[in-house]
């Protein structure tokens, strides 16, 4: 009896995915370069149809053909090295799948190299962290459709299920799956930063305790802001530190790390002329947080606004910040899905925007009630230029923009940094500006560089001797 799939890379994600596959009836061969993780999984998977191997050649030989080999190893050179070790043992038609957070251009390169050897390659975005890997992630497979069709029965089974459907859908060719995961992570960065800014306002401006803020997030999580990130934020704010007894959040160092996917999202947007200000501001907020020592020194040098804090009505302003957070999310997701749309057109990928929103409803880190509305917007208007102009969101923006404006203004006057909330408002006002100040920039460019300009009333390009 051969094994239906093999998993290489038995860190938490890899081993949890192997356990998930086995729990859904697959016979899973598993292998890791160091035997400790293989032994750990073997112990943990007593009774599961998981079969540990310590020799790569034996692992490969144990698989049904065409072989299906799923890699969950660190992105970058480790993926190339595993592929290099595998290829000598493979036959034409075998399928290698990379489930790590690989850069989509690396995936495209690997796809091409392996295609010349008759080996199929799928770049599969997996979102949901350790828990998601075990109980049901959101899965974004990219590569040849017919190769995907061979593994679809496994991945649709192990994916999160929402309303009876799997959070797994074929995304598109070559690197499209990893691209979709990359932008998912960019949206995740923005979402996390927006929540952090809402938390800052509630704590610093409304002077609420962590417990009170957790209660507010719990309440928001029962309404249109319902989402995994809102839910875990309430839990995080309630958590007490075992050493000091303080709210744990108060003793966590305010320096954010990042593994690169948000950065890649911004770079790809900038390279391709796609406005991605909110995601990029969330990335810069992380970079600025890393300058902790400089910020501590600057705090003693740079003064904030000297206006006396006026007493704000808590209930009224809690609603303003809820609306501001919702508006910020709409703008951030509008930018993320615009990046999908513009890139899809650029690369001819035909990304399924409605289905991408649908598979983000469960399993992934940005899973949220809100994605039902996004998928509905694309179902009714497949060629929607921008989420903001979908009737539902245009109406929401009309109702909630005042909340966002009030919070941003109050924050600015109070000296609270709102990189993403303010970027959201600027994006909203820029996108709805039928005529903008870009005409002055064109004039300036033509003045000093004779770069010419177009006119609103005549065809053609023009240059003026400005002196």
Q: Catalytic amino acids?
A: 181, 188
Residue closer to ligand 6PG by CB (options 66, 260) is 260
> Residue 318, class by beta-carbon neighbours within 10 Å (0-12 exposed, 13-18 middle, 19+ buried)?
buried
Indicate whether 356 belongs to the interface with ligand 6PG (CB under 6 A): no
Indicate whether 261 belongs to the interface with ligand 6PG (CB under 6 A): yes
Spatial strand order of the sheet with 5-8 comes to 50-53, 28-31, 5-8, 68-71, 95-98, 120-127, 138-142
Which member of 64, 135, 258, 386 binds ligand 6PG (CB under 6 A)? 258
Indicate whether 262 belongs to the interface with ligand 6PG (CB under 6 A): yes
Indicate whether 191 belongs to the interface with ligand 6PG (CB under 6 A): no
Segment contacting ligand 6PG by CB under 6 A, of 76-84, 223-231, 258-266, 350-358: 258-266
Q: Is the dihedral of CA 147, 148, 150, 155 positive or negative?
A: positive
Tokens at residue 251, please? 């003793």
Indicate whether 185 belongs to the interface with ligand 6PG (CB under 6 A): yes
Indicate whether 268 belongs to the interface with ligand 6PG (CB under 6 A): no
Which member of 77, 117, 239, 259 binds ligand 6PG (CB under 6 A)? 259
Indicate whether 127 belongs to the interface with ligand 6PG (CB under 6 A): yes
Indicate whether 255 belongs to the interface with ligand 6PG (CB under 6 A): no
- Comparing every residue's Cβ against ligand 6PG, the nearest one is 127
Taking the complex as a whole, the smallest distance from the CB of residue 260 to ligand 6PG amounts, in Å, to 6
Tokens at residue 405, please? 């404006």
Distance CA 110, CA 99 (A): 13
Indicate whether 266 belongs to the interface with ligand 6PG (CB under 6 A): no
Specify the DSSP element, H or E, that contains 453: strand 453-454
Which member of 95, 274, 325, 365 binds ligand 6PG (CB under 6 A)? 365
Which member of 75, 129, 157, 289 binds ligand 6PG (CB under 6 A)? 129
Which member of 356, 364, 421, 425 binds ligand 6PG (CB under 6 A)? 364
Taking the complex as a whole, the smallest distance from the CB of residue 382 to ligand 6PG amounts, in Å, to 26
Distance CA 458, CA 467 (A): 23
CA distances in angstroms from 429 to 189, 194, 338, 451, listed in the order given: 22, 18, 16, 27
Which member of 14, 128, 143, 328 binds ligand 6PG (CB under 6 A)? 128
Q: Is the dihedral of CA 8, 20, 351, 119 positive or negative?
A: positive
Indicate whether 74 belongs to the interface with ligand 6PG (CB under 6 A): no
Indicate whether 265 belongs to the interface with ligand 6PG (CB under 6 A): no
Number of residues located near ligand 6PG, criterion CB under 6 A: 13
Decide: 184 and 339 in contact? Cβ < 8 Å.
no
Angle at 76 between CA 70 and CA 80, to 5 degrees: 60
Taking the complex as a whole, the smallest distance from the CB of residue 132 to ligand 6PG amounts, in Å, to 6
Residue closer to ligand 6PG by CB (options 102, 338) is 102
Segment contacting ligand 6PG by CB under 6 A, of 87-95, 124-132, 221-229, 320-328: 124-132
Q: Which residues lie closer than 8 Å to 301 by C-beta, 6 or more apart?
A: none
Tokens at residue 184, please? 């998912």
b/e 86-120 (16+ beta carbons within 10 angstroms → b): beebbeeebbbbbbbbbbbebbbebbeebeeeebb
Residue closer to ligand 6PG by CB (options 48, 286) is 286
Tokens at residue 91, please? 């036959």
Indicate whether 98 belongs to the interface with ligand 6PG (CB under 6 A): no
Footprint on this chain of ligand 6PG (rule: CB under 6 A): 101, 127-129, 185, 188, 257-259, 261-262, 364-365
């Amino acid at each position: 009896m051969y094994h239906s799939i093999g998993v290489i890379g038995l860190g938490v994600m890899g081993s949890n995915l192997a356990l998930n596959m086995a729990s859904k009836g697959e016979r899973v061969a598993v292998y890791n370069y160091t035997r400790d993780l293989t032994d750990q999984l073997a112990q943990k998977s007593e009774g599961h149809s998981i079969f540990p191997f310590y020799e790569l050649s034996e692992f490969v030989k144990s698989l049904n053909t065409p072989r299906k080999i799923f890699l969950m190893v660190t992105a970058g050179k480790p993926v190339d090295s595993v592929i290099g070790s595998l290829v000598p043992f493979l036959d034409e038609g075998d399928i290698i799948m990379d489930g790590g957070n690989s850069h989509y251009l690396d995936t495209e390169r690997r796809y091409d190299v392996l295609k010349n050897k008759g080996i199929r390659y799928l770049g599969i975005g997996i979102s949901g962290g350790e828990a998601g890997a075990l109980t049901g992630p959101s899965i974004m497979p990219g590569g040849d459709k017919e190769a995907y069709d061979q593994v679809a029965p496994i991945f649709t089974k192990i994916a999160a299920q929402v309303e009876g459907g799997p959070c797994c859908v074929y995304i598109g060719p070559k690197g499209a799956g990893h691209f979709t995961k990359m932008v998912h992570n960019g949206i995740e960065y923005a979402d996390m930063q927006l929540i952090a800014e809402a938390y800052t306002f509630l704590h610093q401006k409304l002077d609420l305790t962590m417990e009170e803020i957790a209660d507010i997030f719990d309440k928001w999580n029962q309404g249109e802001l319902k989402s995994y990130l809102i839910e875990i934020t309430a839990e995080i704010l309630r958590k007490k530190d075992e050493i000091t007894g303080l709210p744990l959040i108060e003793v966590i160092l305010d320096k954010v790390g990042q593994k690169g996917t948000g950065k890649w999202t911004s770079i790809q947007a900038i390279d391709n002329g796609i406005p991605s200000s909110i995601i990029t501001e969330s990335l810069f907020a992380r970079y600025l947080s890393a300058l902790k020592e400089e910020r501590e020194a600057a705090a003693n040098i740079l003064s904030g606004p000297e206006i006396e804090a006026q007493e704000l009505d808590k209930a009224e302003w809690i609603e303003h910040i809820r609306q501001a957070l919702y508006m910020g999310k709409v703008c951030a997701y509008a930018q993320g899905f615009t990046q999908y749309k513009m890139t899809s057109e650029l690369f001819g990928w035909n990304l399924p925007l409605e289905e991408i929103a649908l598979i983000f409803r469960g399993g992934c880190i940005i899973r949220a009630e809100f994605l039902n509305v996004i998928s509905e917007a694309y179902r009714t208007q497949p060629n929607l230029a921008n989420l903001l102009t979908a009737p539902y969101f245009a109406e929401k923006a009309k109702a909630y923009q005042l909340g966002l404006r009030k919070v941003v203004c109050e924050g600015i006057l109070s000296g609270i940094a709102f990189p993403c909330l303010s970027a959201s408002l600027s994006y909203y006002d820029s996108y709805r500006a039928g005529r903008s100040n870009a005409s002055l920039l064109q004039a300036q460019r033509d003045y000093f560089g004779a770069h010419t300009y177009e006119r609103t009333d005549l065809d053609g390009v023009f240059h003026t001797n400005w002196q």
